[in-house]
Amino acid sequence: MYPKVNLFAPVVFFGVLLVILGVMSRRYSTVASGFGDRLREERKRLGLSQKDFAERVGIARLAQLHYEREIREPRTSYLSLAGANGVNLAYLLFGETAEIDNQAPEEARGLERKIFDLIDQYVANCCNGVLSSEGRFVLFEVIRTHCLQAVHNGQSVDESLSAFRETWDSTASLHEQQ
């Protein structure tokens, strides 16, 4: 007998990710102008040539040049790998430095812990306990950026996290009905 495979979990993950991005896109209808300049700044901040950075994120040097000159737009997988290599995604996409950098280390760790706990709950309830590290990282960066922007706009982190939790709970109940 073959093990039961939940084909619905990846669909749920990307559905939730689209909901999250939808929430963020209402605040930021487009990527802030100057994306290519910020991408170049981040690459240089990391001390990498276009060729070295392109290799780290799995693209050709010419593609990296096109992204920096805003001739082409990168895919989500590129952004995920860029973030995993040290690029500040909040700055890259929205032109704002993440306020977590201005927080005391204890506050930053507290926020990160809440986000990790939320992602763990999501994975346990909606993905049968399985989600790649890249998937977890993308979720973490999106939720973290959303929470920091919420704080910047006068909302509480707990309110933002509750909104995610409610979305995931309703998604999980849909999954149970299937």
Stated as kind and residue range, the H or E segment containing 43 is helix 35-45
For the chain, the domain total comes to 2
Any long-range contacts for 44-47 (C-beta under 8 Å, 24+ apart)?
Answer: 46/85, 46/86, 46/87
Which amino acid is located at 92 in the chain?
A: L
My answer on whether 38 and 15 are in the same domain is no
Half-sphere exposure of 173 (CA within 13 A, CB side): 5
**Model-level pTM?**
0.49
One domain for residues 104 and 174: yes
Domain of 90, CATH number, reads 1.10.260.40
CA torsion, ordered 87, 78, 39, 141, to nearest 10 deg: -40
12 and 59 housed in the same domain: no
Domain of 103 in residue numbering reads as: 1-30+97-178
Over residues 137-171, the pLDDT tens digits come to 778 877 887 787 777 777 888 888 888 778 777 76
Regarding whether 44 and 81 lie in a shared domain, the answer is yes
Name the DSSP class of 1.
-
92-144 pLDDT per residue, tens: 877 766 554 566 677 777 888 888 888 888 888 777 788 777 777 778 877 88
78 or 135: which leads in pLDDT: 78
